[in-house]
Chain A
Amino acid sequence: MEVKGCRELFEEVINAGLCTYCGACASGCPYLVSYKGRIVLLDNCDISKGQCYQYCPRTHTDLDTISQQVFGADYSEDGLGTVKEVLIARSTDLHIRERAQYGGVVTTLMSLALEEGFIDSAILAKMSSDKIPSAFLARNKEGILQCAGSNYMACSTLDALNRIAKDSKDKLGIVAMPCQVLSISKMKEDPPLNRMNIGNVSLVIGLFCTWALCRDTFQRFLRENVDLMQVIKFDIPPPPANKFDVYSNSGKISLPLDTIREFIMPTCSYCLDMTAEFADISVGSVEGIEGWNTVLIRTDVGVGLMERAKAKKKLEIGQLPSQNLAHLKEAALLKKKRALKEITKKTGDKKKLLYLGMSESIVDRLLVERSKV
C-alpha cells in the first residue's frame, strides 16, 4: 500500500466522511487527538508517510495480506470470514449476566484471560455516568465489568492503545469493533515504530456491528430525550421490533429505530465487516435466544481461551441453530453487498473501492449474490 501523510488522511478519510472514529491515528503523535467524537489536528505535520495514514482502517487495506497475517490464508469470502467454531454461550456468573448486554461472554472471556495471565490489562470502551463512551484500560476484573454493556456509539478505543508506553511489557487484551480489529491487524502486519509494542496485544475480541452512532450528535439527541444519568442500558431488540430501547431507573423508553438511524456514522455504509472478521473471537447477540451470545472462534488464541472457559466452567455453551447461522451469514453478506454498492456509487467505478484491497472476482461474486438475497 502507498503510505501517505496526515494531510491525505484528512483529505481521503476524515473530510471525506470515511472516518470510523476508531482512534488508531490519535495519540500516537503530538498532532492528532480524538476529542468528543472528532479526530482533531492540533498542528500541521508534514511527514509524507505517517502511521496515522498507514493504520487507518479506511486507507488502502489489502484483505488477503491481512488475512494471511492473522490466519495464514487468503481472505475468506464466506460472509463470516475465517471461523474455526461457531457456538452460543452465556456466562455462568450471574453478576456478569446482570450487567452485560446479552450473555456476558465478552466480559467473562476478558476476565478469564486476565485471571489466567493471558493478558495483564485490557482496553475497552467504558461509558461515563452520562453515557459518553471512552477508552478505558482495565487492570482487574472489576474494571472489565464496569465496561459491560453496549452503547452503540463510536468510541476511539484505539487511542488508548497508542497511549501505552512503548517500553511497556504488559500483555494486552482489547475489545474492538470490526473497523478497530482491522486497524489492529494492519498494525500487526507492519508493526508501528515509536509506539507501543503491538506484539503485546495478545487477545482481540471483536464485536458484531451493523453500524455505530456518531457520538456527539447522538449524545445531544439523547440528552434532549432522556435523563442520561438515570440510564442503565441501551438495547436494539432484533427485528421486526425496529426500536431503540433505553432502560432507565424510571422504566423503559422506546425510540423509533429510524430516528436513531439518522445518527449513524456515514462511514458505516462503506463497511463490509459485520462480525469483526480478523479478531481472535467475535461475539454478538443471538436472534431469538435472549440472554445468549453468538460466538465465532477464529484463531488458535481464541480456541485456547475458549478451552479454558469450558474447563473452568466460566461459560455455558450451546449450539447455534443452523437456521440462525444461515441467517447470520445472510445478514453479513447483505452488509457486504450494501457496502460495495455504496462504495461503487461513491467512486463511480467498480474497480475503485476506496480503502478496500480485494480481488475483483470476490467483488463480482459478492455483488452477484445480491440477487439471491
Chain B
Amino acid sequence: MASIELDASGTTQLLLGNEAIARGALEAGIGFAASYPGTPASEIMDTLASIAKRMGIHAEWSVNEKVALEAAAGASFAGIRAIASMKQNGINVASDFLINLTMTGIGKGLILVVADDPGAISSSNEQDSRNICKWMDIPLLEPSNAQEAKDMTKWAFELSEELDTICIIRSVNRVGHTRGNVKLGELPKREQRAYFPNIWNMFEPKLSKFAAGPFPWLHNMLHQKLAKAQQRFESAPFNWYMGPDKAELLIITSGASTACCTEAVKELKLDHKVGIFKLGTTWPIPENLVRKQLSSSQRVLFVEEVDPFIERSVMELAANLPTDSTRLIFYGKRSGHIPSSGELHPDVIINIIAGLMGITYQARDITYEKKAKELSMIIPGRALNLCPGCPHRATFWAVKNALQLDGRDGFVCGDIGCYSLGFAAGGYYQLRTMHAMGSGIGVANGLGNLSKFGFEQPVIAMVGDSTFLHAAIPALINGVYNKSSFILLILDNNATAMTGFQPHPGTGMTATGVPTFHIDIEALCRSLGAHVEVCDPFDLKNTTTTLLRLMAEEGGAKVVIMRRECEMVRAKREKRFPYVVHVDPDICIGEACGCNRVCTRAFQCPGLIYDQEARKATIDEAVCTGCGLCVDICPHGAIIKKVVET
C-alpha cells in the first residue's frame, strides 16, 4: 500500500479515496487534523495519524465530532491550516458550532470532510449532508473519485482562505472506500508558526473577529462569500461535460454516481446521444455553467444518491430561465425515475437511461442470471452477528436472562457501536430503542422518570466506552440530577471497536500512539453521583445476579461497567487463544429435548457450528477464538476447554 507521505510529485499511486483526501490535506500544508471515528470517514484520520509524527502535524481522535471541528477551528484561528473529518451523523453533532463558525469566518484554511453513507451500509440513516451546506451557506465540493478527492481537498483550502469561510467536502462510501490511481502533487516544505491574532488596543478596544454575536450583517457577509464562491465555481476544474453538442438526453450527476453514469452510457453505446454533465461544486451551483449546459438538451435526467439536491437547485434555476427558453423536461426523483433512497448502481442507471431512450437492455442471457442465482445459494448465510469471543455477546446473554427473570418487561435502550447489533438476532433482539450517539441513556432518562404514570418497567441503557465519552456523560449527569431511574451499562471493551479499534480517552493512548492520561470511567461516574459497579461479562452468573439486584433495588441512576477487552484487540496483542475448546460428541445431545442446540441456535456464537449429519455441535476451529464462554452455556457439560500452555 502506498504511503500518503511519499514525496514523489508527479508519480501515480494507488490510493483509497479517504487516503487521497488525507494526501490532499498534506499537499495543502495542513498542520492540524481532528476527527471522531465513523464509517465511512475513519481512514482519513487513521491515515493522517499514522504519518503525523513524521510529517510534523497534529492529528487527534477527538472525543466527539463537535470537539474535533472546534479544535480544528482553533488551529485555523491561529494560522494553521486544519481539517476535520467525520461521518454524516457527526456533522449533526458539530452543527451547533458549525453554524456559528460561518458567522465568524476562519483564520487559515479550514475544511470539514463529511463522509455520507448512501444506502446506510454502516449507519443508522443515510442522511444527505449536502443539505447542511444549503442550510448554513457553506461552499460544497463533491469528489467523484480518488484523484479528485485529493485535488479537491487541496483546492478547497485555497478557496476557504480566499472566501474566509469553512468549506465542506462531501464524500460517500463508494468514493472514500474505493482505490484509484492518484497523481501526486508537491508536499509543501515550510515552517509553520501558530499565533492567535489577539491584536487589540487597550486604548481602542474592538470586537474580535472570532466571536459570533447578535449581528445580522455577519449573515449578509456570509451571503457575499457564497456569491463569490459561486463565481469561483463557474470555472472550477471539477465540473465538466462529456457528450455530443446537442444531446437527446442530458444527465446531470455528481460524486460516486458519475462513474455509474459513464459506465451506463458506455454500456448502452449511447455516448453520441446522451451527454453527462458532472458537477463537482454543488453548492452554490455554478448557475451560468448550468444554464449554458441546459441549452444543449431538452430532456434532463438527474442522477444523484439520497436527496434530489442538484435536481432542486437546477429546477429552481430553470424556473427563472427567460420565458422564451425551450421548455425542459426533467427526470429524476421528483418524476419517480430515480429511486428516492439507497445507493445507485450501474444496473439501476442503465435501466433508467434505456427506458428514457426507448431501448431494451439485457445484461446477460437469462440462463446466466439463473446460474448466478443458483451459485449464490451455496454461499453460507451469515446473520448480523457479533464476532466470536465478543464480550458484548456475554453481556447481551446476561441482560436477556436478567430481564426475563425479573419479569417486569424491562428493556434496553441501545446506542451506537458494535453492540448496536443487539437490535437483531446476534444480540437476542435486546435493544428496543436505538438512535444517535448517546441517545440510549438520554431516552432512558425520560423513561426512568415516569413512575407517576404507573411506569414500573426496569430501564437499561447500553453504551460503549467510546460512545459514553462521546455523548453520554451529560445524559448521565441529567439522570442523577433529575432523579431518573435506570441502569446504564457501559460496555467497556477498551476500544472504539466498530470503526477499527481507534483509541479513545479511556484507552490511555492517543491517535499517534503516544501514551496519555487515561480517563477512569468508573471514577468519573462515581464523581457524578451515580452508584457504580463493575462486572466481567464473562462471569455470566455474577453479571446476571448483579443486574437482577440493581433492578430490584430502589431507583436512581446506576452504572454497571461491563469490563472486558474487545476480543479482536486482545487477540492482536496476545497472538494466542486463552483456551482450546472442543465438543464431546458423546455428551452433546444436539437438538434433543433438554438442549435443542442452545449453543448454536440460541447463543449463536459464530465459533460454534451444528453438524447436521452428526446432529451434534462442533467448534469451528477457523473461527473460534477460544474464549471459553460457551462452556458455561452448554447445559450438559459437553463443551470442554483446556488452557493453552504458553
* Binary CB contact string for chain A from 37 to 57 against chain B (1 if under 8 A, 0 otherwise): 010111111110111100000
Contact status B595-A194, CB under 8 Å: yes
Stretch at the interface among B170-178, B231-239, B400-408, B461-469: B400-408
Contact status B592-A40, CB under 8 Å: no
CB distance from A315 to the nearest CB of B (A): 40
* Binary CB contact string for chain A from 298 to 337 against chain B (1 if under 8 A, 0 otherwise): 0000000000000000000000000000000000000000
CB distance from B578 to the nearest CB of A (A): 23
* Binary CB contact string for chain A from 250 to 290 against chain B (1 if under 8 A, 0 otherwise): 00000000000000000000000000000000000000000
Contact status A42-B594, CB under 8 Å: no
Residues of B within 8 A of A44 (CB): 602
Contact status B596-A29, CB under 8 Å: yes
Contact status B404-A29, CB under 8 Å: no
Assembled-state Cα–Cα distance A28/B636 (Å): 10
* Binary CB contact string for chain B from 386 to 405 against chain A (1 if under 8 A, 0 otherwise): 00000000000000110011
Contact status A40-B635, CB under 8 Å: no
Assembled-state Cα–Cα distance A194/B593 (Å): 7
Residues of B within 8 A of A194 (CB): 589, 592-595, 636
Residues of A within 8 A of B407 (CB): 35-36, 38, 40
CB distance from B427 to the nearest CB of A (A): 13
By a beta-carbon cutoff of 8 Å, the part of chain A in contact with chain B is 28-31, 33, 35-36, 38, 40-47, 49-52, 193-195
Contact status B598-A43, CB under 8 Å: yes
The CB with the most chain A CB atoms within 10 A, among B596, B635, B636, is that of B596
Q: Is B218 an interface residue (CB 8 A)?
A: no
CB distance from B547 to the nearest CB of A (A): 13
Contact of A30 (CB < 8 Å), options: B404, B428, B602: B602
- Interchain Cβ contacts within 8 Å, total number: 54
Given A29-B598, A31-B598, A47-B591, 6 other A-B residues pairs in contact with their CB atoms under 8 A: A29-B595, A36-B407, A43-B598, A44-B602, A47-B593, A193-B592
The CB with the most chain B CB atoms within 10 A, among A46, A47, A49, is that of A47
Residues of A within 8 A of B226 (CB): none
Contact status B593-A30, CB under 8 Å: no
CB distance from A1 to the nearest CB of B (A): 15
The CB with the most chain B CB atoms within 10 A, among A43, A44, A46, is that of A43
Interface residues of B in 591-646 (CB under 8 A from A): 591-596, 598, 602, 633, 635-636
13 contacts between A and B (CB under 8 A): A29-B595, A30-B602, A31-B602, A33-B405, A35-B407, A36-B407, A40-B405, A47-B591, A47-B596, A193-B593, A194-B592, A194-B593, A194-B594
Contact status B594-A28, CB under 8 Å: yes
Contact status A40-B404, CB under 8 Å: yes
What count of chain B residues pass the 8 Å CB interface test? 18
Contact of A51 (CB < 8 Å), options: B400, B404, B594: B594
CB distance from A215 to the nearest CB of B (A): 13
Contact of B633 (CB < 8 Å), options: A28, A30, A46: A30
CB-CB under 8 A for A49 and B602, given A40-B405, A43-B400, A194-B636: no
CB distance from A251 to the nearest CB of B (A): 31
Contact status A42-B404, CB under 8 Å: yes
Contact status B400-A193, CB under 8 Å: no
Contact of A41 (CB < 8 Å), options: B404, B589, B633, B635: B404
CB distance from B22 to the nearest CB of A (A): 46
Contact of A42 (CB < 8 Å), options: B400, B591, B636: B400
Assembled-state Cα–Cα distance A29/B591 (Å): 11
Residue on A with the closest CB to B634?
A: A30
Interface residues of B in 558-615 (CB under 8 A from A): 589, 591-596, 598, 602
Residues of B within 8 A of A195 (CB): 594
Assembled-state Cα–Cα distance A52/B602 (Å): 18
* Binary CB contact string for chain B from 219 to 252 against chain A (1 if under 8 A, 0 otherwise): 0000000000000000000000000000000000
Residues of B within 8 A of A43 (CB): 400, 428, 598, 602
Q: Which 6 A-B pairs have the closest CB atoms?
A: A194-B594, A30-B598, A43-B602, A30-B635, A35-B405, A51-B593
CB distance from A10 to the nearest CB of B (A): 13
Contact of A46 (CB < 8 Å), options: B400, B404, B405, B596: B596
CB distance from A281 to the nearest CB of B (A): 31
Contact status A42-B401, CB under 8 Å: yes
Contact status A50-B602, CB under 8 Å: no
Assembled-state Cα–Cα distance A353/B485 (Å): 46
Assembled-state Cα–Cα distance A28/B635 (Å): 9
The CB with the most chain B CB atoms within 10 A, among A42, A47, A194, is that of A42
Contact status A29-B594, CB under 8 Å: yes
Residue on B with the closest CB to A29?
A: B594
Contact status A193-B594, CB under 8 Å: yes
Residues of A within 8 A of B404 (CB): 40-42
CB distance from A168 to the nearest CB of B (A): 14
Assembled-state Cα–Cα distance A221/B428 (Å): 35
Residue on A with the closest CB to B635?
A: A30
Assembled-state Cα–Cα distance A43/B401 (Å): 8
Assembled-state Cα–Cα distance A63/B27 (Å): 89
CB distance from A38 to the nearest CB of B (A): 6
CB distance from A256 to the nearest CB of B (A): 29
Residue on B with the closest CB to A216?
A: B407
Residues of A within 8 A of B591 (CB): 47
Assembled-state Cα–Cα distance A243/B51 (Å): 83
CB distance from B595 to the nearest CB of A (A): 7
Assembled-state Cα–Cα distance A50/B592 (Å): 9
Assembled-state Cα–Cα distance A45/B592 (Å): 11
CB distance from B385 to the nearest CB of A (A): 16
Residues of A within 8 A of B595 (CB): 29-30, 194
